[in-house]
Amino acid sequence: MANYKRPGIFVDETLNPIVVNDTPTGEFVAAFVGEHDYGPALPTLVRSWAEFTSLYGGLGDGSHLLPFSIHQYFSNGGGSCYVVRAVSADAKQAEVVLKDRQTGDGVTPRDVLRLQAKAPGTYGNGIAVTVTDAGTGPGRFNLSLRIGGDTATAMTERFNDVTCDPTDTRNVVAMVNSPTTGSKVIAATYLGAAPWKAIYTPSVTVDQALAGGINGVAAPDLTAATTRLEETNACLTINLPGISDAATLNPIIDWAERYGYACLVIDAPALPDGTPTEVAVAKYKELSPLSNTGTTPAPLRASSYAAVYGPWVLTADAAVAAVGATRLLPPGGAVLGQFAKFDVTYGPHRTPAGQEAVLRSVYSTAYRFTDSQLDDLNQAGINIIRRVPSAGFAIMGGRTMKAGYPDRYISVRRFLIYVRKLLVESTSFAVFQPNTPDLWASLAAIVTQRLTELTQAGQLKGNSPQTAFRVVCDESNNSEQTVSNGEVHIDVGIALVRPAEFIGIHIGQFEGGGTATESL
């Protein structure tokens, strides 16, 4: 804080870092939730495989599916994605306590700064701290962190010219704990006395490791880990790699419906080697409430916020250097990559399926089903990945776990989520505005403009706004009573685009008045 001694006006200038909005309003972001032995436990936005490797240690020891699914996601055209590492309830965080610079006259250095890993687990024991003098004044120092070893690929975070002085604009605790530009792996706590003095500065140290982190043995709570994604306030397409258990997934589907901005891509169950195809079909259908009306085992909830994809896919093994090594993986990572690609190329109204949805680096699938089996699986709402001649292994399904409504298609559900988010954020300015016809007209104009843009982009059915949507926000749906209640009502109707799921070709022969026909 400045020391003012004469009358006058004094100006301090402080610039905050620029925060980049990674996703425009309403656009979907992929999210992965699962176990891993390394990395943050909070929802963390990752923009590339290289960034995931630096934050989460890459593929790890190969025992967890999460990193493999994320690798498949980026390999199939995926962009940014959120990662939530699910940890055990009995896991503990690693930490280190740095001593201050009180020396001489029998004074013992005291605790001044605690650095604690943000997530539990032994990975925190691999974080090393270095403190050096900044050379810019008393009590100022440089703090650097090295995560994951001393190789060139290890991630390093640096906070230069910082201080423990709470009144300084470069206070180390504020900078390390900043939600936008702070550390991604540790949190800082000041332990020194007040008022601050220059001696309350961490002593110089080189590569002092955090300690005490353990992974724990309890099963992680995947529901709690997934629901943390609500903090992002984003439209999400979520995958829990390899998880197909209805008891685990149904509470997450319930949450997705309440949240309103998330849908789940569920992996079909993994089955032992040698399982007959007809048994695989039966196991897949057990997931579907359309074909399984029992309780043992219970099916997934009948919800358009969930879609099942299978079978597992045979891909190049990214964990093995040997040429030709393969690994059987759940399809969710590759599927979400195709979702992201279709969103960028077309928009969420397009079903990510067909010959354009060919999965990259997929050599085969765990099962190849007959036409009659494919009929049964599609009727059960199971989306099958199968070989398409002259194309490759492609997604050939676009259904949710809900039948009999337009949102039985995943594209319809995701588009409704997109429109909901777009309109909510476009009209949020109106809260606490004077509730008058002027406000109604303004809201109607804004919603009309947004829907007109969607119409022009071909995302609504109809060639003009008159045929694609309707918007009503006037005295017909805003009465004196609703105004007295503090309410404004906007009625919106949209013409949804549905996918062409079946193509029928009818061949006829005409010879002298006789006709023979065949439907394909």
Residues 178 and 295 grouped into a single domain? no
| 19 confidence band (pLDDT: 50, 70, 90) | very low
Angle (nearest 5°) at CA 313 between 281 and 251: 65
Residue 244 φ then ψ, to 5°: -130, 5
Q: Same structural domain for residues 234 and 255?
A: yes
> What percent of the chain lies above the pLDDT cut of 90?
72
The mean predicted confidence, pLDDT, of the chain is 90
Torsion-angle region of 377 (φ positive above 0: left; ψ -120 to 50: alpha; else: beta): alpha
In a domain, 416, yes or no: no
Same domain, 313 and 205: no
Token pair 């040698």 is found at 274
Tell me which of 244-258, 314-328, 353-367 is least confident.
314-328
pLDDT of residue 262: 96
Residues 473 and 490 sit within 8 Å (Cβ to Cβ): yes
Domain-located, residue 142: yes
As a whole number of angstroms, the distance between CA 374 and CA 397 comes to 10
Is there a single domain that holds both residue 120 and residue 228? no
Q: Does 465 lie in the same domain as 349?
A: no
Residue 140 has pLDDT above 60, yes or no: yes
Tens of pLDDT, residues 454-477: 999 899 998 889 999 999 999 999
Assigned token pair, 173: 């605790």
Give the per-residue pLDDT at 403.
86
State whether 443 and 346 are in the same domain. no
Peptide bond into 297 cis (omega under 30): yes
Statement: residue 102 has pLDDT above 70: yes
Residue 509 lies in a domain: no
Which domain-ending residue is among 189, 209, 229?
A: 209
- Residue 442, classed as helix, strand or coil, is helix
pLDDT of residue 294: 84
pTM of the model: 0.86
In this structure, is residue 214 part of a structural domain? Answer: no
Rounded to 5°, the CA angle 428-236-336 comes to 150
Domain, as residue range, for 477: 431-494
Cα within 13 Å of Cα(111), Cβ side? 9
Q: pLDDT tens, 428-454?
A: 999 999 999 999 999 999 999 999 999
338, 468: one domain: no
Based on the structure, what is the number of domains in the chain?
A: 3
What's the CA gap between 481 and 484, in Å, rounded? 5
Q: What is the DSSP letter of 276?
A: -
More confident residue, 100 or 514: 100
Q: What is the pLDDT of residue 420?
A: 94
CB-CB contact of 162 with 188 (8 Å): no
Q: Is residue 199 part of a domain?
A: yes
Same domain, 103 and 164: yes
pLDDT over threshold 50, residue 28: yes
**DSSP type of residue 220:** P
Q: Where are the alpha helices (DSSP H) in 367-429?
A: 371-379, 410-427
Higher per-residue pLDDT: 405 or 166: 166
pLDDT at 12 over 90: no
21 pLDDT tier (thresholds 50, 70, 90):
very low
Residue-wise DSSP of 462-496: SSSHHHHEEEE-STTT--HHHHHTT----EEEE--
pLDDT tens per residue across span 46-96: 999 999 988 888 898 888 999 999 999 999 999 999 999 999 989 999 999
Instruction: Please tell me whether residues 230 and 331 are part of one structural domain.
Output: yes
Establish if 63 belongs to a structural domain.
Answer: yes
Give kind and range of the element (H or E) at residue 445. Answer: helix 437-456
Per-residue pLDDT, 509: 79
